[in-house]
Structures are given as structure tokens and as C-alpha cells.
Structure 1
């Protein structure tokens, strides 16, 4: 008892006042600046797919060279007007007036003499039932508002019998930005509401959910402040998807870390009367697993810096900032809130100080299985199952996960057309489909070929004869009457625009790009093929190569962290193997659900990588929570009783944390973007699978079956627990149902 008194140091009164006050002021200041910044993130966010490609990509090189020819960053908006009957040629004069009005819209490229307008059109379709305009949008920072104004201008100018669409790259980008619009408010409200309800049900406390939620929100506001600054300085590239992931990641991680500290605090309040002594015990016990878990996620995210795709690479530092503030908030802000409220934080079910009655181990209470003393309900039954039949338990668990992983054979993660990215109604998507019926499908998004001037004619001829190209021309400026017919030459190069005969975001169009890249170097070894279709192709190819490269790096780094944390080799290998199997099972089930339940057209090529990083890093989190407690108990009781005790003591809190994290990631599904909806399902389902099967059954059962060798080659493996209680835990032989020397003895 004397040792316990010395350990539970109580700070002096002045420190008990000064420290909480300083910490609260710091966090309130961060929230006061970071909160208003949340709505400004969109101003430093970009959803331009080309911006995320590496400089080495062929389409990136073409994009850079193309700017030398056009001296403009304009992206085309395609205005399509469709009539049920043929449009007479005499009406084209009135449509020409509409073209002039479109050119006057703010954000549209202004005309240069002798051209009267920068807008190309009206272009009458061959069937005479549609008219098309190509509108260059130069205000790329406000594409959403420019496209909205174009749609208003068209609607006000056409008769009711005509249906209008604004599509093309600008129209699709505008609808994509609209779909991301809920990230600033709806996503945060749904995630926070889900966390609050779950905490309310789990703890049956009115106060505690607010304390945990405040901790998470304050962590997010501080992270947003730093992310906004870095993005505005150009240090990181922020996109809509990384913005949404940041919010979910911080709220989920901060809540998980908070729940671990809260569980330790409530446990300590039953053993010590002073709330300061209790928070000191809880903080010391939770420090190592929280820091280790946060470091694991941070390092896994930083492994994304090895990605060649800038959209993946940018998430590394963004997620790192979020996790760092989640750890800081859980270890600084939450302890202050808990100690200020004391036992009232758990009202109406306040933990009572009952040190003498609470420790069943010290007072010799008899239990059927050693290690389950004082454990009740579900986790007592789970522990009993593992103690009786460890091998059967982990084999059955592994078979279930293996069966789920078979769905991987159905995974179609090779990218999706841009028209399928937005899951809600889209004027641009509808317009793309309508335009394809009346005009050459790729007229608004041609393949762009950069070739040497001396080989230009031969290259143009080769492009024209390529299957899938309906027409090809040199770039001659605006390509309209009144301009020169000679190709524009820059640094000895010319541009060729190849119009595709299929939709530019289709698999057939990507096949045409591959053919051009394979055949054109025979004419010009220095030729480059780019454009919208090539950008999508390079993005998917790079994402798939990133998956193969980054997965081994993440696994190796996390393995090394676990070895340092657990002072063991065998246990970390087991944990890494378990989360890898869990990831495969989650992805397998997700593939089946995507194909046969939701009937998605496929999956973004980056989905498996993002799913892997989050599931492995966060799945290891729960195993860290479990195994650090198991190691702590094993040093007192022996390994097998320690496994049962650790499982029983952490079961409720880890399960609650898993449910919270699954709910927060599921909130991503409110944003109608295919990538985010798929990521939401993969991570939410994977976290639940990991919590229910891997952490609750597979890992404890395998560890129990192996016994003390799980700690090889540490001292705990060599000498076992120093406590006399562990003397009965003879683990030099394998445990069996009737193996008396190894089976836990009654106390």
C-alpha cells in the first residue's frame, strides 16, 4: 500500500489551478482561430485531376507544354442544346447571339481581334437536332460559379422546347465541387452526431459524451488551422477528398484515444479517492499505448510520401497533422476536462471508491479460470471460450476471414469514368451522354499530341489513321475563321488535337491513348500524348503502382514499431499478419457488395491503397491497446492468465472505440462521391470486422495457444512473470484442452 501512496503524487494547489487554466486557454485559442478557418478550406482546395499527377507522367508533360501554346489555363465547358425536331439552318443566326452572350459571362476567356468571341459555335450536329458551343473557362478557381452562370444564361435565352446542358471538363468539375459542398458542414454534423449517440449509449452518461466530443472537435479545429496555413503557403496540396478524410480521421482517432484514457480513469477512480491521483494513474497507463498508436498511424500516413500520385502524397502530411493533434488533445485537453468534473463526468453512474472490495485478485476470490477474476458478462464468456478451446477458436476465425477474402477475385479497382464519380443527379453527366448521341464523343476533350515540327505531317497522318480517332487537326490558335491556318510552333514543336470517336472517359478511349503511345514513337521518338483521357489513364496506372510499392513499406515500418513497443518479435509478426488478413477479408466483402448490392461501375484505383493504410494503421491501434494491457498483466500473472485479463479489461473500451470509428468513417457516405462512399464502407466494415473477430478472438486465441513464446525473445519469454502467481503458468509446452500443466489453475 505504501508503494501505491508514493506513486499517486498529488500536485500542489497552485499547479492544479495554473496547469488546467493554461491548457484550456491554449486550446480555446486554437479553436477560436481554427473554427472560422474550417469554412475557408475550400478556397485553398483543388479537385483538378491533372494537378495530382507526378511531373514525370507523360500527360503532365503535355499539360505543361500545352500552356506554352495557348497562354491560357482555360478548361472547356461544352454547352449542348437539344431539340426533339430538326433545327433549321436559319435558326443558327439566333444561336450565334447566344454564343456571344456566353462569351460575356464572367470567368470566360475574352475574345481577341479579329475574332468576335472566344466561344466556338454554334456547331450543328449531323442529325440536325443539337447545337454545341465550346466555351473556354479561364477562372479555374471559381469553376462552380462560372458554370452556374453559364447555365443561367443558357436557360434564360432558349425556348422551352429546347433542353440545355453545360458539360465537358468544366461542367463535370463544377458538379464535382458541388458534391463536395457538404464537407464543410453536413459531414462534420453527421460524424459528430453519430459519435455523441454512441457514447451516450455506451457510457449512459450525460456529461462524458460532451467532454469527449469537445476534445475531438478542438483537435480538428487546431489541425485545420495548420492545414489551411500550409495549403495557402503552397506546402501541401489539399483536395476535397483529403479535406473530408481529415475531418473523419481526427474525430475518429481523437475519440478512440479519449475512450482509452476515460476507461483507465474510471478504473482508477475505483481504486483511489483523489481525482488528481486517478487522472495521474490513468494518464501514465494510457500514455504509452496512445502515443504508440498515434505514431503508428502517423508513420503509416507518412509512407504515402513514397507515392508518385500527388493526391496520395498530399494526404500523408495532412493526415499526420490531424493525428498529431488528436494525440495532443487526448493527452492534454481531455485530462483537464476529466479532472475538473471528477466523478461527476460519469453522472448518473459515478464510479465509487471501493479499493478494498475491487481487487478480487488480492483478496483471493475464487474464479473458475485464472485471469478472469472480476470479469463479468460477454468478455468473461469470450475469455472462457479462449481458455477452453484456443486452437479451435483461432482456426474458425481464420477460416471465416479467409472465406471473406475470396471476394477479392471480384475487385474491379482499375478506375471509373469521370461521369460515374458523382453519385447524385448531374447536369454535366446527363449532358455528356446526350452530346455523345449527336456529336463525336471526344470533341470537347481531345487527345493532345505534342510532336516535332519536322515530323508533324507524318505524325498527323498516323493519328488520323488510328482506330478510335474520328478526326485530327493541328492547333492553329483558336481554330476559327479569321485566324491563321498554319499550326502554332513553340520551341520547334506543334500540337495536334485528336477527336475521339468514343467518350473520353471510357475504357475504349484509354485503349486509343495506349495505342497512340505505342505507335507514334515510330514516327517521332520524342512524341508525347496527353489530354483528359491520358490524364485519367496515368492516374490509374500510377495509383496501381503505388499500391504495390507502399504496402510493403507500411507493413515493415509498423512491424518495427510494434517490436520496439512489445519488446518482442513473434507477437508483432502475429499482429501484422492478423491485420493483413483482416484487410483482405474487408476488401473481399466490399468487392462483393460494390458489384452485387450497390452495383457500382467499378472502384477508384486509389481505394485499395487508402483502405489499406487506414485499416492496417487503425487495426494495429486496437491490437496495441490490447497487447500493451496483456503485456502489463502478463508481467504480474503470467502470459495465459494475462491474455485473458487483458482481453477482459480492454474488451468494452476497444469495442466501443471500434464502433465509434466505424460510425465516423461511415459518415463519409453522406458525400455523394464514389471514392468516399467506397472508402467509407471498406473502413467502417473493416474496423468492425477487426474489432469483433480479429482483436476479440483471433489474436487472443493464437497468443493463448502459443503461450509464453509469444514474447520471444524478450525477458518475459525467458523468465515469465516475476510474481509468484505466475508460477502455475507453465508455458514451455503447448496448451491443450486437457493439458493440466499449462491450463490456468483456479485461484
Structure 2
């Protein structure tokens, strides 16, 4: 308690508030240049997301031991339905010679198809950070002034990397602009003040800069993996959660300004009272994200610490810089609705007071009906299909997928993404006898002569279930070898995602439950809250699937969506219930259970609803991205947060609290006897 008082005094002291402001100015000056370098450390290798410990990852790790190192070839398809002409062959040969400076080693002549309608030119490229740039040069060359009637497409790993690079080009800045516009609109509507909205927005922007700088330093000097698209999720998370915490603190500060003549004292009290739910919220989200350290997927594993850094950045800014700015600016920052000392608190009759009275009239019927609504939406999840193919990785069909389809129509098997088998003894004979294998290449020895790598072309495309079955048969036929790339990598990704769901989801639930139990000093309330949040997740999943299938036209959900959606919705959805129930506990300690519950709903309803709209907006912005996975995460989390904000938190949880009565706090002290300090408060009854 003494420590919390001392910390609260720093940004609210008459002199120390200026010291805090100067400190943050110095931090921002240092952070902004570093934050601008974050894009420089984004991992550009096409295989950077492979699961830890998987065979496909081991194959990738062994690749440098072979001549040419880590390669991601660009494969150019030349297709003419009426048959390849002499001019077409001359064009492919001219492209081969022109692209020699870009390639890593010699480019072999184009290989004709057996039906005479296609040519396949393979350009060896290093799988590094400049892969997309080199692939762009190839595409510009081969597609420029192509002979009439000749379809030319770049595919293979380099083509896929280029598609992803094009999709993310300049999107981060656009997302940030749209996010700021939406957050500004919500804050203006909430406060109806020409000035106050700037403070949460400025604090969110500073949090993002500090977080980005920290992530850059860890990536540059500690090997932290930063994937394409991670900055978009970070933007949404940091902006949303920082604004949420700012709104909660502002609401408490406004209350205390009516009770204290000195704004410094008002902020000290507000900061102490807001600290418990805000810090508990940050701990919930941080620890929930850190559960991803148990994940196998590279993207999932890295998102944990990066997301936790973002949440901590938002927490520190809101609990130090924002209070200092508010007391520096004074009461006038709330103009035109300036809270004065001695002003009466808002009279009952607001929208959330009316909601509370209606819920209190028949609480059991209300929570049963609300649960039925969630169950109805969750029923939409029964027809879910998971696993997007390459053609639907982007919201528009990738050019590399078109090229892959063209080659598969004219060459046996899938030549664009062969499987690689690395072994310490010959395996060619065993591989040729495996059903589903179309072709076995010539073994390539490693530079030290201890290993061989054999390329295997399957009869089925890598995204096909038949290809995954063939990989399993290959691994059974050569158990001493490591089988990776192509369909083997797809299989390992699917198995890693399944592992992460089995391990991370129970961990997140356990962590969130423990934090709620510690904060609320009860067992029943945390269990009920967890149950409602999980129910809202399945409701959002079902409703989201209906939107994706019939409004967006997506044939399936990305395999990462179930885990990512659960993580963000549970960790963030618990926040609003935590803000409400912690205030209920505070009010119940001063009153009877019914009065305290309804008063807490009336006091927190407006600020929590605004916070929910802000968070839903920041994640909803991801829907403008050209990456299907990002669109699905954005829509699912936005839908889940809105359900949590306007149905679960505002209707179902208060109804459960009222229906269970003081048993809601079992086995804590509030479940047994009213507080000795309880004092009656008038609450209008329905």
C-alpha cells in the first residue's frame, strides 16, 4: 500500500509531474528513430515460420550444408494452349540469359512439358531478406512484352514471397492512419470535447513508438523473430488496450474531481483506485500472451513476448504520463463539461441505469435468454471448415498460385514445391516405391560429404490431403531421414497448430482464472466470468464463420484463427468483465449486494462500452488487409469484443451476479456478511 501511494504520487506531485513529463519526452526522442527501424528486422525468409523441432525445420537447418545454401527458387511458367512456338522458346532463352545476374548460380535451360504446351524455367535464388526484391526483378523481366497468347507467371517459393511482400507493401502505415481516425471518432463521440480526446490518442501513439523501439532492439540484438503481419497485430493491440486503460483512468479521475478541490489529490486517489483493475487487466493479457511460449509455431511463439511488451508499454504510459498530463492541463481539459468540486454525481436514469433496473427485475430469465443468444450464434460453428489453400491465402488470388496451377496442368506432380529428404545414407530406391511419389530427383551430397538431399515430386499438390498422406508414408519408409519442404512443411504446420491449441488454450484459461481469483478473492465469480467469456468466443466463432462464408466468400478458416481468436478474445474480453466486477466488489463493500451491482453497472457502463468500441475498431481495421488470416482475426476479435461489451458484460454478468446474490463472492468475506462499513444508497427499482 505504501509503495502504491509513493508511485501514485510521482506523476501527480506539483513538481514531480514535470519531471515525469520531461522523462517521457526524453524516452520518446530516443524511441522514435528506433521504432522507425522495426520494418528492417521483419524476417523475410519464406521458411521462417516453420515449427520448432519439426522434421521440416531440421531440413531447413541442414540446408546450409549443401551447395547453394538456403534456396528459394523462382519458377517461371510459359504456357500457350495451342502449343509452344519457336518464338516462345526464344523468349524463355532470352529471359534465362537476362536473369543470370539475379540468380545464385547457373540457370538451366527451360524444361518443356510432354504435351508441348508449356516451358518451365527455374531461377535459383537465396532465401534471404532480399528474396522479394529479386523475385520482383524476375517478374518485371518475364512479364514485360510477352508474345501475344503466351501466358507467363512467376511461381515457386520466390513467387509466393513476392505475393506476400506486395500484399504488405505500405499497408502498415495505412492501417495506422485508419486506426487513428476510428479511435478519434469514438473518443469525440464519447467525450464531446474538442481537446480531451487528444490525450488518450497521444498516449496510444507514444505506447506504440516505445513498444516498436523495444521490439526492434530485441530483434536486432537478442534474435527475437518478427514476422510479416506482426506489426499490424501489434498496432491494433497497443492502440486498443492503451486507449481502454486511458478511458478507465479518465472516468475515475472525473469522479474524484467532484470530490476533491485539489486536482492533484483527485488524481492520486483516482490512480490508486484504477490501479488494481488496470494492472490486473495488463497482467491477464500479458500472461495470456506469454502462454504462447509453449507454442511450436514460430509466429505464435514470437507473438507472445511481442504482444506482452506492447501491453506493458501501454500500462506504463497510462499510469505515468497520462496522469502527469491531466494534472498539468487542469480541469479545463474536460471543457465544455468541466467537473467542479462539489458537483453532484450524475443522477440515475442514464442508459446503463435503465439497463440495470431491467436486468434486476428478472435476472434469471435475462441470463438464460442471453446465454441462448450466444448458443444460437455458436451453432453456426458446427459447419466450420479449416485450412486455407494457397489460392485463398490472400483475399485476391495470388499470381504465384495461378502459375502453380498452370504448371500442374502440364507437368506430372507438383514441381513448384518438391519435398526434400535429407539422410546420411542413400534412400532413392525406398522413395521410388512409395505410393503418391511422381518423381525422385538425383541425390545431392552435402559439402562435407556426410549427408544427401533428394528432391521428391508428389502426384498431389502440397495443400491436398493426399499429399500429406504421401508424406506420412515417406517418413515411414525412411525413418532415419528428415523429410521437409513442400507438403511436409504443410503437414508439420498443421500438426504444430493442433499442438498449440491443445496446450496454449488450457494454459490461458488457467492463468486468467487464477488472476480473477486473486483480484476478486472469490471462486464462483471467476468461474462464471470465464464461462461467459468462453461462450462469447464460440458465439463469435459461429457468427464469424457465417460472415466469412457468405459475406466474404472464404471457403475455410485459417488454421491459426482458432488459437489467435481465443487468445485475444479471452484475454481482452475478460478485461471488461474484470473492470465491471472489480467495481461491483468495491461498491458491494459499501452497500448491499443488489445496490452495489446496479451502481457499478451504471458507473462503468459508459466507459467500458466506449472502450469496447475502441478495441473492436482497432482490430476491425485488420479487415482491410489483403491477407485472409488477418481479415479473419480482425473480424472475429471485433465481433467477440462487441458481444462481450454489449451482451456479456452489460447483461449476462450483472444478471448472474444478481441471481446468485452474495454467493457470487463465495468463499470470500463478501459472501458471508455485509460489510461493517456498508451504507445504504438509493437505487431506483423497476
With normalisation by structure 2, the TM-score equals: 0.94
The answer for the alignment partner of 1:52 in structure 2 is 49
The answer for the alignment partner of 1:605 in structure 2 is 559
2:31 to 25, 34, 46: 34
Alpha-carbon distance in structure 2 between the residues aligned to 1:26 and 1:440: 65
1:403 to 370, 376, 387: 376
The answer for the alignment partner of 2:385 in structure 1 is 412
Q: Could you tell me how far 1:562 is from its partner in structure 2?
A: 0.9
Matched residue SS, 2:675 = coil
Alpha-carbon distance in structure 2 between the residues aligned to 1:76 and 1:29: 46
Alpha-carbon distance in structure 2 between the residues aligned to 1:268 and 1:321: 31
The answer for the alignment partner of 1:691 in structure 2 is 645
* Counterparts of residues 204-283 of structure 1 (less than 5 Å): 204-283=192-271
The answer for the alignment partner of 1:510 in structure 2 is 468
Q: Which has the larger radius of gyration?
A: 1
The answer for the alignment partner of 1:324 in structure 2 is 312
| Shift in alpha-carbon separation, 1:617–1:10, aligned structure 2, 3 A | closer
User: After the TM superposition, which of the residue ranges 493-502 and 684-693 deviates more from structure 2?
Assistant: 493-502
Check if 1:292 corresponds to 2:277.
no
Alpha-carbon distance in structure 2 between the residues aligned to 1:35 and 1:745: 52
Alpha-carbon distance in structure 2 between the residues aligned to 1:636 and 1:708: 14
The answer for the alignment partner of 1:480 in structure 2 is none
The answer for the alignment partner of 1:146 in structure 2 is 134
Q: Deviations over 1:529-555 (max 9, x none)?
A: 211221121111111121111111111
Alpha-carbon distance in structure 2 between the residues aligned to 1:425 and 1:399: 39
Give the gaps of 5 or more residues in structure 2.
none
The answer for the alignment partner of 1:494 in structure 2 is 452
- The question of whether the paired residues in 2 share the 8 Å contact of 1:300 and 1:613 is answered with yes
Q: Could you tell me how far 1:714 is from its partner in structure 2?
A: 1.6
The answer for the alignment partner of 2:76 in structure 1 is 79
1:447 to 404, 408, 419: 419
2:410 to 438, 450, 455: 438
* Counterparts of residues 234-633 of structure 1 (less than 5 Å): 234-355=222-343, 357-358=344-345, 374-413=347-386, 415-424=387-396, 426-453=398-425, 455-463=426-434, 466-467=435-436, 469-476=437-444, 492-518=450-476, 520=477, 524-633=478-587
Matched residue SS, 1:549 = helix
| Shift in alpha-carbon separation, 1:183–1:525, aligned structure 2, 3 A | same
User: After the TM superposition, which of the residue ranges 332-341 and 699-708 deviates more from structure 2?
Assistant: 332-341
Q: Could you tell me how far 1:47 is from its partner in structure 2?
A: 4.9
- The question of whether the paired residues in 2 share the 8 Å contact of 1:604 and 1:675 is answered with yes
| Shift in alpha-carbon separation, 1:133–1:278, aligned structure 2, 3 A | same
Check if 1:182 corresponds to 2:170.
yes
Q: Deviations over 1:146-172 (max 9, x none)?
A: 111112222346434433221111111
| Shift in alpha-carbon separation, 1:457–1:210, aligned structure 2, 3 A | closer
| Shift in alpha-carbon separation, 1:11–1:290, aligned structure 2, 3 A | closer
Check if 1:101 corresponds to 2:98.
yes
Alpha-carbon distance in structure 2 between the residues aligned to 1:84 and 1:26: 68
Alpha-carbon distance in structure 2 between the residues aligned to 1:450 and 1:561: 47
- The question of whether the paired residues in 1 share the 8 Å contact of 2:46 and 2:127 is answered with no
- The question of whether the paired residues in 2 share the 8 Å contact of 1:134 and 1:444 is answered with no
Alpha-carbon distance in structure 2 between the residues aligned to 1:727 and 1:247: 43
Q: Could you tell me how far 1:570 is from its partner in structure 2?
A: 1.2
| Shift in alpha-carbon separation, 1:689–1:440, aligned structure 2, 3 A | same
- The question of whether the paired residues in 1 share the 8 Å contact of 2:79 and 2:118 is answered with yes
Q: Deviations over 1:363-413 (max 9, x none)?
A: xxxxxxxxxxx3222112211112210110111011111111112212223
Q: Could you tell me how far 1:597 is from its partner in structure 2?
A: 2.4
| Shift in alpha-carbon separation, 1:488–1:28, aligned structure 2, 3 A | closer
Alpha-carbon distance in structure 2 between the residues aligned to 1:394 and 1:11: 42
Alpha-carbon distance in structure 2 between the residues aligned to 1:229 and 1:684: 31
Q: Could you tell me how far 1:445 is from its partner in structure 2?
A: 1.2
Q: Could you tell me how far 1:648 is from its partner in structure 2?
A: 0.6
Q: Could you tell me how far 1:91 is from its partner in structure 2?
A: 5.7
Q: Could you tell me how far 1:181 is from its partner in structure 2?
A: 2.2
Q: Could you tell me how far 1:324 is from its partner in structure 2?
A: 0.3
The answer for the alignment partner of 2:112 in structure 1 is 124
| Shift in alpha-carbon separation, 1:328–1:658, aligned structure 2, 3 A | same
The answer for the alignment partner of 2:161 in structure 1 is 173
Q: Could you tell me how far 1:420 is from its partner in structure 2?
A: 1.9
| Shift in alpha-carbon separation, 1:36–1:424, aligned structure 2, 3 A | farther
User: After the TM superposition, which of the residue ranges 267-276 and 231-240 deviates more from structure 2?
Assistant: 267-276
Q: Deviations over 1:611-636 (max 9, x none)?
A: 11111111111011101110111011
- The question of whether the paired residues in 2 share the 8 Å contact of 1:307 and 1:546 is answered with yes
| Shift in alpha-carbon separation, 1:427–1:746, aligned structure 2, 3 A | closer
| Shift in alpha-carbon separation, 1:588–1:425, aligned structure 2, 3 A | closer
* Count of residues paired in the alignment: 682
User: After the TM superposition, which of the residue ranges 644-653 and 49-58 deviates more from structure 2?
Assistant: 49-58
Check if 1:673 corresponds to 2:627.
yes
The answer for the alignment partner of 1:702 in structure 2 is 656
Alpha-carbon distance in structure 2 between the residues aligned to 1:75 and 1:11: 57
The answer for the alignment partner of 1:653 in structure 2 is 607
- The question of whether the paired residues in 1 share the 8 Å contact of 2:348 and 2:684 is answered with no
- Stretches of 4+ aligned residues off by more than 6 angstroms: 7-12, 744-747
Give the gaps of 5 or more residues in structure 1.
1-6, 112-117, 360-373, 477-486, 729-743
Alpha-carbon distance in structure 2 between the residues aligned to 1:159 and 1:680: 43
Alpha-carbon distance in structure 2 between the residues aligned to 1:456 and 1:410: 42
Q: Deviations over 1:2-50 (max 9, x none)?
A: xxxxx999989x9845323222223223333333334422221125463
Considering only aligned residues, what root-mean-square deviation do their CA atoms show, in Å?
2.6
Matched residue SS, 1:326 = helix
User: After the TM superposition, which of the residue ranges 492-501 and 580-589 deviates more from structure 2?
Assistant: 492-501
Q: Deviations over 1:161-204 (max 9, x none)?
A: 43322111111111112212234301111111110011111111
Matched residue SS, 1:691 = helix
Q: Could you tell me how far 1:240 is from its partner in structure 2?
A: 1.7
Q: Could you tell me how far 1:492 is from its partner in structure 2?
A: 4.7
User: After the TM superposition, which of the residue ranges 433-442 and 237-246 deviates more from structure 2?
Assistant: 433-442
User: After the TM superposition, which of the residue ranges 559-568 and 251-260 deviates more from structure 2?
Assistant: 559-568
